[in-house]
Each structure stands twice: as structure tokens, then as C-alpha cells.
Amino acid sequence: MARSSRKATTPVPVRFGAGEEPLLTLIRARATAHHRSVSGQIKHYAHIALIAEDNPDLPLSTIQGILEAQEELRAGLGEPYQWGVIESA
């Protein structure tokens, strides 16, 4: 039987102290709004934070737009750009 090359993920607990309850409440609300689990929302924020640290000149809206565009391409929604062609509406 062939073994998968993927390593099993290890859960990492994230603890919020008593003074951080407002932050956790906000994360829960955002997770609900975006149809994610709290864990999924924290992973989303961590992903964006890593990109932002690596690209300090990019605004958050640009980072979010790039991530959305990448997912659209993966979903097959991309169209090739035709250079020099201007279409009127």
C-alpha cells in the first residue's frame, strides 16, 4: 500500500487570557460572518499576517485581492489578458 507524502498536522492550542476576551469575541463574529470556524479564521489571519510581513509595502486590500484572484484562477475563472486590445462597452 502506498503511503501518503503528506505529514499529519498537529493541533496547536491557542490560548486567550481573560483580558483578551474582546479579541476572541471579535474573531468569533468574523468567523461566523465569513462562514469559517474560529480555528479557520485564526489560520486565515495568520496567513494574511505572514504575507503582510513579507510584503510591507502592499496594502491589506491588495493582499486580499491577490488571494481572491488566485482562488478564482484555481476555480477556472481566469481569462487570458489580450495586450493592446481595448474593448469599448
Mind listing the pLDDT tens digit for each residue in 41-60? 999 999 999 999 999 999 99
Q: Where are the domains of the chain?
A: 34-76
**pLDDT-based confidence at residue 7 (cuts at 50, 70, 90):** confident
pLDDT of residue 4 exceeding 70, the answer is no
Q: CB neighbours of 14 closer than 8 A, spacing ≥ 6?
A: 42
- The count of C-alpha atoms lying within 13 angstroms of the C-alpha of 72, restricted to the half-sphere facing its C-beta, is 10
CB atoms within 10 A of CB 64: 13
Q: Cell 490560548 belongs to which residue?
A: 15
**pLDDT-based confidence at residue 9 (cuts at 50, 70, 90):** confident
- Written as nine digits, the cell of 65 is 485581492
- The count of C-alpha atoms lying within 13 angstroms of the C-alpha of 14, restricted to the half-sphere facing its C-beta, is 12
